[in-house]
Structure 1
């Protein structure tokens, strides 16, 4: 019935007048229902065309459609949430990576500073050891502010022994402690040594009477600096006292005057 189109028209019922329904002396053959006049119109039913047919969805189909729509909406919400979470995670990871790079850079700078400080400390330690060595007397005893041992002047330190030794013994004694016999190179140095050296061995020798005087390192002695007085003619070693040098036997026992350069 639902697949056809039904056309309805009005139905009219008419009632006959009483004078027509009652006839004298004749009983009515028409039943009471026939006393009314019924007018019928055509009632036409026609089937709709295929293009006009619209299937009505069932309840189950409606439920499935709603379920699918809700599923897609739920999937879209989940995907959006995951995208947001991933965006937040990527931002956090990027910040952590940048922070780690900054920390590594700071660690490299600190390591570089520590290396420089370590090198400086090693240099200071070396200078301290050298300073201690310079403050140690020839017997290995420590000196106090150069009062009794090494005495500084310019770029040199000087030490004057109390013991008496021969020239060769004093030379070996000074050499064993990283120093040499006294060498005077200028007037200022000579003025400093005048009150300290009293017939101490100099690092000044000659190979014979006709030879020139030379220092221990082989450089010649300038005569204009101070003279070498021939107190003992024919001797090849010299001692220093009060601004002058005196010839002396190399085997004679004299005080040692040792010298070291601080460069």
Structure 2
């Protein structure tokens, strides 16, 4: 703040009468002014401000570019993640489909296996039943008239056949009637019967020791007096006279009676 002295020369326009002296009067007026300090560094400060503003602009631009780069990077990462996630989901979907298909095939195979196992069990059961039935047939006793008869399913010698009958509580069959003869030859098998002349050649006796009285020899039988054909069998079963003499060591089926 500066003070400025102002002097004013006051001279009357008309000199009044009686005015003494006509002296020039000077009045000093003091006025106080608020003055601005002179801007001695005006252009330098303005340049500094402009430089700062330019720096701010550059920083702002750089910051904006950095933000744009970060945004672009983020978008790229999100896109790649989304794409990768989609591919992963697609792979998972394919794997799930494959798993479902394999599971379905496994279930079908399991069903087939169960069906085959059930069929196997049924066949095994049928086989067991057939085996039992076969064993029953092999070991069955057939009733005729007042006797039980067992017909073998294997072949043995005459003596072995008799031993088997004895083990069963029976003996080789003794045929003492026409009905019994028809029954035995109706079995349609070559069978040893309980008739032999091993003790006395030409004298035929049943296994219980009784002599032969009624016979059903085939034509020209017995004829083995000179060849040791000492045991009797049913051979020509299609004929009423079906007996034949044969070597006792021959192997044939047999029929037991009890």
Give the TM-score normalised by structure 1: 0.40
Higher fraction of helix:
2
TM-score after normalising by structure 2: 0.41
Structure number with larger C-alpha Rg: 2
